[in-house]
Structure 1
C-alpha cells in the first residue's frame, strides 16, 4: 500500500476536481460550418461502443456564444500590419497524374535592393480575412474524393510504398524546394510524415522530417478556468500568422468538441490532440473509470472532425511506473500521469498499448499520424536521461515498427528538461531505437531556474537538438509552469522557436536557409533600415526598438543607429574605407583595403596620434 500511495502521488499532476463533463453529442448548430462527409456504417456502428449517458455536473464556465454576430469580427493583426511591404502570393503547379491544380502559398518581401527586388519566404498564415462561421476553403476535397474507396489503406505512407506521388507530396515538395520523388521516398521510409487527415479538407499540407526544414508546433486550448471558443480561434489565427507549422488543441475545459470543430474548420495547418484529455472528461475526470471503449469512441469522434495527429502515451507501461519513485519531479506529463494512475489502480497494462493494433486500424482509415507521447519525460534537470525516460523511448521504437507494418505514419515525442551536455544522447538513442522516425521534442529546457523566461531556456535546447536531427519542436511560452498563455505569450513562444528552427536549418546547411540571413545582413551593411525591419522575424518589434531613440523618416536613411552613433558605427567606417580605396583606384580587394588603411594610419601619425581632432580633415585629395 505504501508503494501504491507513493506511485500514485508521483503520477498525478492535476486533481480530477478540475475536470468538466463534455458535450456528449455534436451540436446541430455546428452544421453551418461542418462538411458533408459521407460516412460508412462501420464508423458509427462497428467501431463506436455506445456508453451509458453520464450525468453532467452543475459546474459551468462562462463563454461567449460563438454564434453571436460579434464572433465573426475576430481578426488577428492584418497581414500587412504584421509584415509591412510584404504580399501573400501563390505559386501554381499541376499534379500531373490527376491534373489537379495546386496553389502553394508564400510571402514575398519587397525590397529596396536593386540587385534583389524581393525575397520569397515560407508562409503558414493561410487565407486571411475569412469569417470563422464559414471556415477556410476546402482545397483538398477534390484530391481526397479522387482516392476514396480505391485503396486498402488510406495513408500517405501506403501511397508512397505503392510508388504514388500524391497531391500532398507534390505540394510539400514545392514548399520545401525538393523533388516530389524525394518526398515520396522519405515517407515510404518512415523518416518523414505528412499529417493530413482525409477529413481536414482545409489543410495546406506540410512535411515533418529530419531531411526537411525544421518545423515548430504551437499549443492552444481552453482550460477549466479560463479562455473561450473565440479566444482559441483567435489564437489559431495568431499562431499561423507568426509562423506555427502545426497546432495542438489541448483543451481540457468546457465545450471541447465545439472548440475543436471551430479550430479544425479554420486551420490551414495540421492540428493534433491528446485524446485522453477528452476521454477523461467523459468519465467525470476520474482516471480510474477510463476504459478502452471510451478511448476508442473519442478517437473516432476526433478522427471524424479531421484531427491530423494523435498524441497517445502508449509507452507508459505498468512496469515503468515504479521507476519514477526516486525522481525529483515524478511524472509531469498530463497524459502520462493519467495512464500511470489507471495502470496502478487496476494493476493492468496500459490499455493504449494493449489495443495498439486497433488504434492503428483507426488511424489507417483516416490517415491520422501518431505522435507517440513521452509520458515519462523528465520534468527537471535532475531527472534528465534517467531509466524511466529511456525505457519509454525504447518502447516507442517497438510501437513505431508496428505502426509502419500497417502503413501508419509516426513521429516520436521527446523531452523535456535536459542540460546541454545530455542532449546528444537523446538524439542518438531516438535515431537508433526508433529507426529514424521524426523526433518531436518539447524544447528541451536546458535549466530550471528561469520561470517566466522558459521560452528562452527551451529554445537553447531546441536549437541544439534540432541541429542534431530533431524534425519538429514544440514551442514553450514565457508562461510555461506558470499559467495559460495569452496571445502575446503565444507570439513570444513562436518567435523564440522560429529562431531555434532557423538556427538548426543553418547548421544542417538546408538549401536556401541562409538566403534570408544574407539579405538582411546586406541591408544592414547598406543602411537600408526598412529592408532590415521587413526581413526580420518580427518586423513590428524591430522597427519599434529602432524608433525608440531614432524616430522619424530621416532616421531611416541614417548611416548609423543609436547604439554607436555617427562616429563609432563600425559598418560606416568600413564603408568609408571601401569608398576611399575605390576613389584611389584600388578597387574593393584585400590589397586595396590594406592600402587604404595604411594611408589612414600615416595620416593618423601626422596628426599627432590623436584619435579625435578639433577640426575635420579632408581625405578626398
Structure 2
C-alpha cells in the first residue's frame, strides 16, 4: 500500500508521524495533504532514513543538493565528502547526478551515507552505458530505459527525475524554431534526440502507465522533469516551457489517481518579476502539486556567483509557494563543484528557503529571528553563534580581530549601540534614585 492510498483510507503512517514532529504540524494535516497530492513524502519503502523529508502545502521550504561525478572528473571520495557536507549543514535531499565511471558504485555509496532522501536521473546512466558499449548514444531501447529506472529504485532511490513532458511533437518544433539558450536539460536533450532519431514518441510519455506501475511498486516520488526549462531569461515562459508544464500537469493528475506521489520541476532562468507568476501558474495548472524549482536564476551573467543570484530567485519563489529549491554553487555553468563550493551553495539556499518561509509561513518560522534579535540586543554572542546557518564561520569572522566573545564586535567597538544608550539610561536611573 502506498502513502497516498494509506492516507486516503485515513491512516497516519509512521513516516507521517516522523514528519509531523519535524514540521511542527498536526499529522492529520500532513495525511490530508498526501491524500490530495499537495504533499509528498520522499521515501522508498525499502530504505531506512535517518532524516525524513516531505514537501508541499503548509510545510517548510526544502533544499536539495546536487552532487555526483562526471566523465571529466570521477572521484568517489570527493562525492562522499559532498554527502558529508549535505548531512552536516542540513540538506533536505540530495541528488546523485553521476554520469560517468562506475555509476552504480557512487549511487549505492550515496544511499548508504546520506541521512536524507536521495534522488537520481536514470537517463544519465542509460546514456553513459551506450557510450561504454561504443554504440550510438541514443540507440537505446524502451526496455533499456525502464530497466535502469527499476535498478535505481531497487537500490533504494527515493525519488527520480523523469522527463515525461517533452513529446515528439515538441521535439520537432524545437528543431524548427530557435531558442536563445536552446535546451539546457541533459535529460531533456537525450529524450528529444532519441525521439527525433527514432521518430517515436518519448516512452516516458507514451508508456507513462508502465512508469507508474514501477513507481508504485517501490512507493517512490516521481519528479516530472523540466526538460524545456528556460536556460536563459530570454526564453522564460516561451511556448516550449509552458507546453511541457501543461503536459506534466496532466500526467501528475494521472499519477495521483493511480496512487503514485509526484512533484513538478520548474525553471531555470527567469526575470525576477516573473517568478511569482510562474509559481502560481504551476499551482493553478496542477491543482497544488509540490513545485521543485531549479534556482531560480534571475540573471544570466553571475558566473562564479550563481549561488547568490540563484538564492535571490529562490527566496522569491519560496515566498510565492515553491516547495523545494535545488541549490546552485559558485561552480554552476563553470565546473563540477568542490565540497567547499557545495557548502557555499547549500548555505546560500538554506538562507533563501528561510527568507521565503518568513513570508509563506509567517509566525510559524519567525520565532528564531526574534531569538537572534534578542541575543544581539543583549550581546549574547554564544546564542548568536548557535542560531546562524554556519556557526564555525560566524565564530571565525568574529574572532578575526578579537579573541573572546565579550562586549561589542570590532565593527563598532566602544560605539556599539547596545553599550552607549544603556550607559546613559543606567546613569539616569542612578541619578533618579539619589
TM-score by length of 2: 0.95
The alignment partner of 2:116 has SS state of: coil
Aligned match of 1:360: 212
Gaps of 5+ in 2: none
Alignment match, 1:417: 269
Q: Is the 8 A contact 1:308 1:369 kept in 2?
A: yes
Q: State whether structure 2 residue 305 is matched by structure 1 residue 458.
A: no
Please state how far the C-alpha of 1:174 moved relative to its aligned partner.
0.9
1:207 aligns with 2:59: no
Q: Is the 8 A contact 2:74 2:101 kept in 1?
A: no
Tell me which protein shows more helix as a share of its residues: 2
Aligned to 1:557: 406
Of residues 321-330 and 405-414 in structure 1, the stretch that sits farther from structure 2 once superposed is 321-330
Match 2:156 to one of 306, 309, 313:
306
Q: Deviations over 1:559-601 (max 9, x none)?
A: x22222213x22323433543565466xxxxxxxxxxxxxxxx
Structure 1 segment 526-541 matched on structure 2, within 5 A: 526-541=378-393
Matched, 1:502 2:354: yes
Q: Is the 8 A contact 1:196 1:203 kept in 2?
A: no
Q: Secondary structure of the residue that 1:507 maps to in structure 2?
A: helix
> How big is each residue's C-alpha offset from its partner over 1:523-543, in whole Å with a ceiling of 9 and x where there is no partner?
111111222122211111111
Quote the Cα distance in structure 2 between the aligned partners of 1:210 and 1:460: 21
Contact 1:443 1:473 survives alignment (8 Å): yes
- Quick check: 1:309–1:371 contact (8 Å CA) kept in 2? yes
Q: Distance in 1 between matches of 2:13 and 2:410?
A: 53
Question: Aligned-pair distance for 1:210?
Answer: 2.9
Q: Does 1:345 align with 2:194?
A: no
Partner of 1:371: 223
**Retained in 1: the 8 A contact 2:44–2:157?**
yes
Q: Distance in 2 between matches of 1:337 and 1:445?
A: 20
Counterparts in 2 of 1:582 and 1:333: CA distance versus 1, 3 Å: farther
Q: Where in structure 1 are there 5+ consecutive unaligned residues?
A: 1-153, 586-619
- Equivalent pair of 2:58/2:361 in contact (CA under 8 Å): no
The answer on whether the counterparts of 1:477 and 1:490 sit within 8 Å (CA) in structure 2 is yes
* C-alpha distance in structure 1 between counterparts of 2:363 and 2:264, whole Å: 25
Offset from partner CA, 1:113-152 (integer Å, 9 cap, x none):
xxxxxxxxxxxxxxxxxxxxxxxxxxxxxxxxxxxxxxxx
1:163 alignment partner, SS class: coil
Deviations 1:344-366 (A, max 9, x none): 11222111101100000000010
- The reply on whether 1:566 has 2:414 as its aligned counterpart is yes
Distance 1:227 1:183, change over 3 A: same
Matched, 1:182 2:29: yes
What is the RMSD computed on CA atoms of the aligned residues? Answer: 1.6
Kept in 2: contact 1:282–1:294 (CA 8 A): no
Contact 1:218/1:239 (CA < 8 Å) preserved in 2? yes
Of stretches 358-367 and 194-203 in structure 1, the one that deviates more from structure 2 is: 194-203
1:17-28 alignment, distance < 5 Å: none
- Contact 1:314–1:372 (8 Å) recurs in 2: yes
Counterparts of 1:529 and 1:386, CA distance in 2: 50
Bigger Cα displacement from structure 2, 268-277 vs 202-211? 202-211
Q: Radius of gyration: which is bigger?
A: 1
Worse-superposed segment, 423-432 or 316-325:
316-325
* Separation (CA, whole Å) in 2 of partners of 1:577 and 1:448: 51
- Residue 191 of structure 1 is matched in structure 2 by 38
Aligned to 2:376: 524
The reply to whether residue 443 of structure 1 matches residue 295 of structure 2 is yes
Please list, as runs of the form range in 1=range in 2, the aligned pairs for 1:106-185 lying within 5 A after superposition: 154-185=1-32
Check whether the contact 1:193–1:209 (CA below 8 A) recurs between aligned residues. Answer: yes
Pairwise CA distance, 1:288: 2.3
Counterpart in 2 of 1:400? 252
Report matched runs for 1:23-42 at 5 Å: none
Matched, 1:492 2:339: no
Is this contact kept in 1: 2:49–2:117, CA < 8 A?
no
The one of 210, 220, 229 equivalent to 2:76 is: 229
Residue 322 of structure 1 deviates from its aligned partner by 4.4
Alpha-carbon separation, structure 2, partners of 1:270 and 1:471: 15
